[in-house]
Structure 1
Amino acid sequence: MEASRATPAPAAAPLPASGTRQLVSDLVALTKPKVQSLLLLTTVTTMLVAGSPSIELIVATCIGGYMSAGGAGAVNHWYDRDIDAQMARTATRPIPAGRIAPRTALWFGIGLGVAGFFWLWLTSNLLAGALSFSGFLGYTLLYTAWLKRRTWQNIVWGGAAGAVPPLVGWAAVTGGLTGLPIYLFAIVFFWTPPHFWALSILMKDEYAKVGVPMLPVVRGEGETRRQILLYSVLLYAVSQLPFCGGGGLGALYVGASGLLGIVFIALAVGLYRQATRKAALRLYLFSLLYLALLFASMVADVKL
């Protein structure tokens, strides 16, 4: 009689193509690609101001910067999963929607942050890698884990992490830091509060619902509009440092920064006088264009 044989266990079914696409889409979403675009723009433009980097170096620096900032974004998704689930704007994100496990997002983010450091070290230099990793730590530990749920100044000091890309770009090209990249860091640092506070006015009820102490929640919209105007004026003053502070930029940049700064302040004044969502949205959208055009004008000034 033929010996009976155990039926082999069926092989695990491969993930359907649609499931694979969804997984990849969700992992990309964890890196916050919309935020990344502006960070990479300040990186690339700073590199072009610093010298004449090769295309290979620019691409490599962007890859490393994306990994570092994207890793920080993924850790932020993991940490904020509880409040994301309660806000309509964020409830469909991969973790609260149940498409990505929290632990997966955490290790994905940490892995990207560490990989970004080593990538930049190998493709450019140690300083660029260390600066990028400092931005990763600043966003995950300083802003996300410590400041965001404790103080209305969360975006002021936590915003320093978003100001790191110009330092990374400069270090990748030159191997060091001088006065000009510090000025560029300061520009992004002072740009962040009015940019984000304009958005926080639009999202005030959502933040209040989950107990995040954004400025309009704890101090009111009137104080938020006043702070936006104050920081807009400070931003204009800081934006003149690349010229009057010995940064080496000239007339083309002065003209562009002056015009952009005047429009920024005019919109901040308009928001201060008219407490409307339309005025807040107008300032928020212009702030994105402002930073892009300001850094582009630096490249034009140096190259032309």
Structure 2
Amino acid sequence: MTTLSERPVVSPRRVTDVVGAYVALTKPKLVELLLVTTLPAMMLAAGGWPSWRLVGATLVGGMFAAGAANTVNCWFDRDIDRLMSRTRNRPIPSGAVSPRAALVFGVVLAVASLALLWLETTPLATALAAIAILAYSVVYTMVLKRRTRHNTVFGAFPGAAPVLIGWAAVTGSLAWPALVFFGIVFCWQMPHFWALASRFREDYARAGVPMLSVVAGPESVGRQSVAWAWATLGATLLMGSITPVLGWAFAIGGGVLGAWYVVESSQWLGRIRAGVPDRPMRLFSVSITHMTLLSIAIAVDVLV
């Protein structure tokens, strides 16, 4: 019989490290950015504030769904993560979590997310979440990421899915404002991620991942980023014109933010052409601020 004094003592620090490693697998900063678009989509669909229970279930279910897809991404990409300075300290390459444990964790998160969404939201929201998980973890991560320069464009579909999930959680259907909001987030992702991929171009090249910044010249990446920034602005203006509940906050804020995105993308291209330090992370930071403030503008218009 084991006495109390003979039982192993689990260090609180060790428990914290383990929990932190599993949380890191979900890429919490990316999950947070995805959820930023879910709540305003729900508010638009409801024409106000949905019930707290529905908001909580949708956000937690969406967090689990995104975390599941990101965890499977970390599991599959563990070989190339070891080669990249940006990712070599992730939980699997560093040895903090075994590949098998990571995969099981990802599957458990996926099941939990779909169960919660099914019980508390709508069948359509649940189906869209399932499609998004599969699209990112299988179609993007396992099939396209290492095979085509267009991987970012395909990866942008699940990246914009929280908008549709949030809308469907409230209404059980989809409508034009949801689809146009989806288009804004979809277009926005290209300059956002290409800026990051340009900053870590050598990492992706070393890992053999054909990101656009690896297989195309910097000027080509810059030109395409400007084009997608203009598309983001265009979709924003379209959404303002077809969504009656949106008023001055979105009209002014969306237009200014979209123009800012175009200007920053154009300045990035200008620095590339001039042969001066292009500072891609400046555009990356601006993109995050842009989407956050745009979501706030939507929330303000709906509530005011």
| Same fold at TM > 0.5 | yes
CA 94–58 in structure 1, closer or farther in 2 if over 3 Å, else same? same
Task: Work out whether 1:42 is the aligned partner of 2:61.
Answer: no
Greater gyration radius: 1
Encode CA deviations 1:222-259: one digit per residue, 9 max, x unaligned: 11011101111111111112123456533431211111
Measured after TM superposition, the shift of residue 169 of structure 1 is 0.9
TM-score (norm 2): 0.93
- Give the share of equivalent positions with the same residue, in percent: 39
Q: Quote how far apart the aligned CAs of 1:15 are.
A: 3.6
Q: Which residue of 2 aligns with 1:3?
A: none
Give the ranges of 4+ consecutive aligned residues of structure 1 lying more than 3 Å apart after TM superposition: 10-15, 245-248, 276-279
Decide whether aligned partners of structure 1 residues 48 and 248 sit closer, same or farther in structure 2, where only a CA change above 3 A counts. Answer: closer
1:205–1:23 CA distance, 2 compared to 1 (3 A): same
Residue number in structure 1 paired with 2:291: 291
Note if 1:135 corresponds to 2:135: no
Letter of the 2:301 counterpart: D
1:64, 1:117 within 8 Å by CA — same for their partners in 2?
Answer: yes
2:176 match: 179
Asked whether the 8 Å contact 1:270–1:279 carries over to 2, the reply is: no
3-state SS of 2:94 partner: coil
In 1, Cα distance between equivalents of 2:263 and 2:90: 35
Name the counterpart of 1:300: 300
**Aligned-pair CA distance for 1:158:** 1.4
Q: Which amino acid in 2 is paired with 1:204?
A: R
Q: 1:247 to 1:144 in 2, by over 3 A?
A: farther
Describe the SS at the equivalent of 1:95.
helix
RMSD, matched Cα: 1.9
Answer whether contact 2:271 2:278 (CA < 8 A) is retained.
no
Please give the per-residue CA displacement for 1:47-88, whole angstroms capped at 9, x wherever unaligned: 122222112221111110011100011100000100111111
1:14 CA displacement: 5.1
Q: Which amino acid aligns with 2:105?
A: F
1:70 aligned to 2:67?
yes
- Superposed CA deviations along residues 117-163 of structure 1, whole A, max 9, x for unmatched, are 11111011211111111111111011111111011110111110010
- What secondary structure is seen at the aligned counterpart in 1 of 2:21? helix
Could you tell me the TM-score, scaled by structure 1's length? 0.93
The structure whose RCO (Cα within 8 Å, separation 6+) is larger is 2
- The reply on whether 1:28 has 2:23 as its aligned counterpart is yes
Count of matched residue pairs? 298
Q: Is the 8 A contact 1:68 1:116 kept in 2?
A: yes
